[in-house]
Structure 1
Amino acid sequence: MPKKVELDQSRRRAPKGHFVVYVGSRMTRFVVPTSYLKNPVFQQLLEKAADEYGYDSHNRIVLPCDESTFQRLTTFLAKHT
């Protein structure tokens, strides 16, 4: 059985092939597949984030949209990617 420390460390990292973004006023954490990076709509969202927050967001990717909009986007991308 893994040690608790190992479990805690795994929760901070996204699984292989995924990355973490933070969305909304509550900074909700989402783990998304790297395949989304190929989608033009997701790329535009990342560009908007860079324009709004810059590239230094305390080592976090913060996206400038609310949670419900992001969930609709990821639902669409999951069906069409």
Structure 2
Amino acid sequence: MSQTIILKVGKRELYIFPKKVMKELGIREGDLAYIQLEGNKIIIEFIPDPFTLAIKTKKWAKTTVEEFEKESEKEQQELYS
């Protein structure tokens, strides 16, 4: 995906990304990003929210709450015994 978008520096020296871009990248207000400066270029890499990532990521295992609790209790017994 390669697009060219012109942004204007707004009040308080902020860039406002178009809603379409935000939606396409799956980012929301409050999300974090890495900013890298290379000469006169700014590279922005958005950091995925762990909860959103957990929901969107393909699942490869299934468990029930009961199985999870049983395994948790077993691990705790091994750690604290």
Q: Which TM-score band (shorter chain)?
A: under 0.3
More helix by share: 1
Structure of greater relative contact order (alpha carbons < 8 Å, 6+ residues apart)? 1
Q: With structure 1 as the length reference, what TM-score do the two structures score?
A: 0.22
